[in-house]
Amino acid sequence: MKTHLNIKKDPINDIMNPFTLDEAVSLIYRLAVFKKDERQPGQKYSITQIGHICGVLALNDQIEIVIKFYDEMRQFTKTEFYAQVKLIDE
């Protein structure tokens, strides 16, 4: 009898699925906000809430993106990015 463990892998939350270089570079120059600061449709964000994706880092065999916010600069792995940040298309 063969037993197979069926685990559905979520490509966004799988820690073994980091950003590819193409994915990370495609996000450069996009605007983003923290999900905790997300507004209702039609409401505007404060300039201090909006971040600018400005770079890509390759650290420890993993690609991360860099976001410059008004008062800080942060780097995110793919898992952290999709858990904490929302892209804005305004």
Q: What is the pTM of this model?
A: 0.77
pLDDT confidence of residue 15: 54
pLDDT, tens only, 39-74: 877 888 889 999 999 999 998 889 999 999 999 999
Q: Which residue shows structure tokens 């793919």?
A: 78
Per the CB < 8 A criterion, the answer to whether 30 and 51 are in contact is: no
Task: Decide yes or no: CATH 2.30.30 for domain 21-88.
Answer: yes
pLDDT, tens only, 69-80: 999 999 999 999
Q: Which secondary structure element, helix H or strand E, spans residue 86, and what is its range?
A: strand 85-88
Per the CB < 8 A criterion, the answer to whether 18 and 78 are in contact is: yes
pLDDT band at 17 (very low <50, low <70, confident <90, very high): confident
